[in-house]
Structure 1
Amino acid sequence: MVSENQTVRRQVWGAYWASGRLHSCTNTPDRNYQGAIGDFWDGFFAATRKGARILDLATGNGALPLRVHRTLEGRVRVDAIDLAALSPAWYEPAKHTEIRFHAGIGMEELPFEDAMFDEVVSQFGFEYADRPRALSEALRVAAPGARLAFVMHHAESVLVDVGREELGHHAWLISEEGLLPAAQAIAPCLAAIRAGSAPSSAAFAARERYNRAMDELARRASVSKAPDLLLEARQHVHQIIATMGQDASSAISAIGRFIQDLEGSRLRTQEMVSHALTVSELDSLTEACERRRPGMRITSAELRQAEGVVAWSWVACAASDADQTG
């Protein structure tokens, strides 16, 4: 049975993937995770055998299936699942015949037979699951000698640090002192003035509140390591206010829709931050895998590039395959 929390998550992530994004990190360009993450996958898939069956967990809009298609050129088969509705703009069933997407599927209950896959992979997805149940399912569908590889959010990564800072920006933007309530408050006053009414004391107070919020936003952006959300909000509000006529209702509605969009973004960011793995949590995952599948060799590492740590990599494979795994 799907819980209320799962329903909300499915709706929020489904709307996000419908935007056409290829990945879950909103501050990263759509480049299918290049750099250290791309290098990791290139090394891993270099050892993939021809004819292998691959399962991608929490695929999103299919960043990993797309990478597999480009690097392995149809020599393998890929099944990709996600709890949310999927909208991979790049996907053409007639062209990508080796790939099948399965929407509305959680990692904790996989609709596949035992020992069906040669590789089980996930990129910024596995950590969002009920990990003990998801690991049990991943191992159930993994064939003897299969390889598992997960790239997961690191609790101290630059991505998660940005996420923590953006959660503060979200909270301020919708607070009583924040920009968005101030913009909604000033809209009726500006509409009345543009309709020919003389400014009232309420209009002067709303303008002062709006100006204070704009000044505070500029201050916060100037000292923030991740000001993009603030700058986007300022630009969006400025455009709404500047183009508003003598009727404030459309502007107030537009700001309300923006607040709803921000709430979806806040939920996704909160999930990333709360599910990012600490060292002890990563160790617990390794220990659980060793208990369930004795004899597997498990390695984990921090994936780093110029800006710092970007993720964990975690690989489990047969001891004989360990030296071939990137």
Structure 2
Amino acid sequence: MGPGEDNERREAWSSYWSSGRLHSCASGDQDNYGGAIAQFWRTFLERLPPPARLLDLATGNGPLPRLVWELHKDAADIDAVDLADVAPAWHSPSLHRGVRFHRSVRLEALPFADASFDGAMSQFGFEYARRAPALAECLRVLRPRAPIALVMHHAGSVLVAVGREELEHHGWLAGDDGLVEAARGVIPWLAQARAGIPAGEAERAARARARYNAAMQALAERAQQSTAPDLLLEARQAVHGLVARVPAAGAEATLQSLDAYAGELARARLRTAEMVSHALDAAQLEDLRERLLSARPGQAVDCSELRQAEGVVAWSLVCAPSDADEGVIA
């Protein structure tokens, strides 16, 4: 992956995390993960005897460091890294003294000394890196018997299914026949009409309006048929909100706002495409498990599907010494 692509990814994810979200899933606004994922992390973290220095890989807005602090308060000791420029709004250095965030860090090049940590974890993050070098770096900075816990996107999960459907919506919204281009075409005509200036080309103005109305109708039909319509409904609200408020003074400011929204859509599409493309199938998970068994002979590597009412939500993986049941961290 070249520097240009790294920068594009960093910009897309930095923009996302600056919104304050604590998750990286398509179509969701909850503050944190619940259900099977929350139970997995609480079980893992409660078995670690504090004080333990922990590493959170691809932290995003830091749901895991926040959970560590909630469980251990002043005994929490965790370094959290991310490629993006993360600065979680919930984090106060004076209050969360043992929680440290490190920006613009690639998992393939961690800025820590060998054998620095008593445990490593990642929630929907590790799989976005190049897995072999990222795993090597993770093992380098861990003490030899330190456990590793990962929650990773599952290629067959309900989250990835939503992501695949949203990619189709993104393609239509930004395409030549989609809502964004239809709005771009009608906005100048609306500005002229509201200024009381004759369009002069009534037929072209009528075609632009008809194209926009057809796009709105197509969106409504897509949303009705979709099992994941949130993106379409949000786009309808945002774009029509701009179109409905075109000022008589001119179209330029509205078109600039539309361009800004189109940029947001493009960054969202990149993030969703990354989630879908980096989700692991069973063979890829098994490859990761075998790499860990090879690197840590004699240790156990447990892989499971995390399920809740709506279906599979993730893979979980834990690599730990066989005596980890007794709370041993060497």
Q: Tell me whether the two structures share a fold, i.e. TM-score over 0.5.
A: yes
Tell me if the contact between 1:32 and 1:67 (Cα under 8 Å) persists in the aligned partners: no
Q: How does 1:127-138 map to 2 (within 5 A)?
A: 127-138=127-138
Question: Following the alignment from structure 2 to structure 1, what is the Cα–Cα distance between the partners of residues 215 and 320?
Answer: 54
Confirm or deny: 8 A CA contact 1:167 1:266 kept in the other structure: yes
Q: Which residue of 2 aligns with 1:70?
A: 70
Query: What is residue 235 of structure 2 aligned with on the other side?
Result: 233
**SS at 2:75 equivalent:** coil
Secondary structure at the aligned position of 2:306 is classed as strand
In the other structure, the counterpart of 1:117 is 117
In 2, Cα distance between equivalents of 1:249 and 1:211: 21
Q: 1:212 aligns with which of 188, 206, 214?
A: 214
- TM-score, normalising length from structure 2? 0.95
Q: 1 CA distance for matches of 2:4 and 2:127?
A: 20
Q: Give the equivalent residue in structure 2 for 1:282.
A: 285
User: Residue 259 of structure 2 aligns with which residue?
Assistant: 256
Matched, 1:318 2:309: no
Give the 3-state SS of the residue equivalent to 1:104 in structure 2.
coil
Write the distance in 2 (CA, Å) between the matches of 1:51 and 1:190: 64
Task: State the distance in 1 between where 2:139 and 2:124 align.
Answer: 18
- CA deviations over 1:280-310 (Å, ceiling 9, x no partner): 0000000011111111100011111111111
For 1:142, the aligned partner's letter is L
Larger strand percent: 1
- Given the alignment of the two structures, is residue 55 of structure 1 paired with residue 55 of structure 2, yes or no? yes
| Cα drift, residue 324 of structure 1 | 6.4
* Residues in 2 aligned to 1:174 and 1:145: alpha-carbon distance in whole angstroms: 49
- Give the match for residue 271 of structure 1: 274
SS of residue in 2 equivalent to 1:302 = strand
Q: Tell me, yes or no, if the aligned pair for 2:26 and 2:162 is still in contact at 8 Å.
A: no
What's 1:94 paired with? 94
SS, match of residue 305 in structure 2: strand
C-alpha offsets along residues 156-201 of structure 1, whole Å, 9 cap, x if unaligned? 1111000000000000011111111001101111111112234510
- State the partner residue of 1:164: 164
Match of 1:294 in 2: 297
Deviates more, 1:254-263 or 1:314-323: 314-323
Q: Does 1:307 align with 2:315?
A: no
The percent identity for this pair of structures is 49
Count of aligned positions: 325
Q: Distance in 2 between matches of 1:140 and 1:312?
A: 24
Give TM-score, length-normalised by structure 1. 0.96
Moved more, 110-119 or 126-135: 110-119
- Give the alignment's Cα RMSD to 1 decimal: 1.5
Which deviations, in whole Å up to 9, do the C-alpha atoms of 1:65-117 show, x marking residues without a partner?
00110012232310111111012000000100111111111111111111111
Structure 1 position 2, deviation (Å):
6.6
Residues 206-255 of structure 1 deviation map (CA, whole Å, 9 limit, x = unaligned): 11111110110000000101111111111111111111122111111111
Q: Are 2:243 and 1:245 equivalent residues in the alignment? A: no
Moved >3 Å (runs of 4+): 322-325
